[in-house]
Amino acid sequence: MTKDDPVKAVEREFAVLFRRSRSMSGTIARQLHPDVGAAAYGLLLQLQQTGGSRLTDLAAFFGIGKPTLSRQVRLLESLGFVERSGDEADRRAVTLRLTEEGLARLTATQEARRERFRRILNTWPREDVDDLGRLLHQFNELQF
């Protein structure tokens, strides 16, 4: 790391982290099913976090078009991971939700991912792990 420009060092380390994260997401997604990619995995995570979302809201969240998102949704529906239900707020709209199968498989892969992080970080002092979590949270709260 360079002492002259800490922002340059942070940018470089984030670039490495993002590359590794994309690779890890693809690997984890394929554990759900060989046809599931990183983008579909991200969609499942968002549905888990929100408890269900409309297609238009998901497209806006991910910054992608509805046709692209619709392809991912069709795949996840065909695998039995996602289902459509009526939207209580707007009877014309449809809400996407995880199925019981989708939630169970997603939860299992998340626990496997957490276990991998535990193995990676188990040599670090607890305070360093706490600091890393706190600082990442602080960074992620920033508005870009």
Instruction: Please write the tens of the pLDDT for every residue from 24-49.
Output: 888 888 888 999 998 899 999 999 99
> pTM here?
0.79
Q: Is 63:14 a contact under the CB 8 Å cutoff?
A: no
Ordered structural domains, the chain, with CATH: 6-140 (1.10.10.10)
User: Does residue 121 register a pLDDT over 80?
Assistant: yes
Q: What does pLDDT average to over the chain?
A: 91
User: Does residue 94 register a pLDDT over 90?
Assistant: no
User: Does residue 60 register a pLDDT over 60?
Assistant: yes
pLDDT of residue 4: 79
Q: Is 82:97 a contact under the CB 8 Å cutoff?
A: yes
pLDDT of residue 1: 52
User: Which position has the higher pLDDT, 62 or 143?
Assistant: 62
